[in-house]
Amino acid sequence: MLSPLKTIVPRIFMMCLICAAPCVAWAQLPGEKPIRLSADLDLTASQQKQLETEALKGSSEAARKLATFHFIVRGDRDTTLRWYTIGAENGDASCQFSLYDLLESDPNTELRAHFWLQKSADAGFPYAKDELKRLKDRASH
Amino acid sequence: MGAWFIACMAVCAVDAVHADQRAATDEPIRLSASMDLAESQRAQLEAEALKGSPEAARTLANFHFIVRGDREATLRWYTVGAENGDSSCQYALYGLLKVEPDPSTKLRARFWLKKAADGGLSYAKDEVDRLGEALPH
């Protein structure tokens, strides 16, 4: 059975896409052009390069944007993991929570997933705090 | 050079006395003997490191670096230690990454150097001073 969290992260991304893209979608006539809701997350090669440099130097926002791009637009799990890890190391609570979500389903990485969940919750990220509470409640029953 | 230096200093400091004692007999001298870990010790340290212990990650990294000479495992545990907030792991990670040919890896090396310096590690602060303006802010 899927945990409630399993549905949270995809929902967050879907909400972002739905909120960001209606103007683009609305303007297109049926059959005129395929509608791609993730279009506003696209990055050019030079934008990617710039963000990569910023992320490696320590920018949380740059790492988060790159991870989202590779997750949503490209569907590249390995690269998504790389940039969520960089973002998490840079101290970004939402990257830490996303990293938890990606790692916790694998028994080999489950322990480290919980380390990042705790970091995210310690930084005050609401989803992480809720998830931590849910896990503690489940463990106590 | 920094990571090797730290690791060698650690081995020398811990084993100097033992080495003298062994030299008196005719046993082979292996300076890293005190860093050996049994399988159960490794498993225990790995669990602690993954849960967030800086000391456990550092012990594992030193084991893989000095005793086993396993670069990948060394990188893995110095990274875990660095993520756990250990300044000496951050500095050791800098030492391992800065020699990589990939410019991205070199850039990330500087990130960890700065973290180590911010954590107050004197070697890291000296290195930051030495690099001066070359360090990203």
Q: Which amino acid is at B20?
A: D
Burial of B114 (0-12, 13-18, 19+ CB in 10 A): buried
Give all domains of chain A, ordered by start, each with its CATH number.
Answer: 45-141 (1.25.40.10)
Residue B21 lies in a domain: no
Which residues 34-93 in chain B show a CB within 8 A of chain A? 47, 50-52, 80, 82-84
* Distances in whole angstroms, Cα of residue B98 to Cα of each of B61, B83, B89, B112: 17, 17, 14, 10
B51 interaction partners in chain A (CB closer than 8 Å): 111, 114-115
> What DSSP element (H or E) covers B117?
helix B103-118
Rounded to two decimals, the pTM is 0.78
In a domain, residue B26? The reply is no
pLDDT per residue over A95-111, tens digit each?
999 999 999 999 999 99
Please state the separation of Cα A3 from the chain's center in Å: 17
Q: Which residues of B touch A82 (CB under 8 A)?
A: none
ipTM of the complex, rounded to two decimals: 0.77
pLDDT at residue A53 greater than cutoff 90: yes
B58-67 confidence digits (pLDDT tens): 999 999 999 8
Structural domain for B70, as ranges: 2-15+38-131
- What is the domain count for chain B? 1
pLDDT score at B29: 75
Whole-number Cα distances in Å, A3 to A94, A127, A134: 19, 13, 10
Contact A112/B at CB under 8 A: yes
The answer to the question of residue B67 being in a domain is: yes
**B23 occurs within a structural domain:** no
By Cβ distance, the residue of A56, A89, A112 closest to B107 is A56
Residue B125 has pLDDT above 60, yes or no: yes
Closest CA to A115 of B118, B73, B47: B47
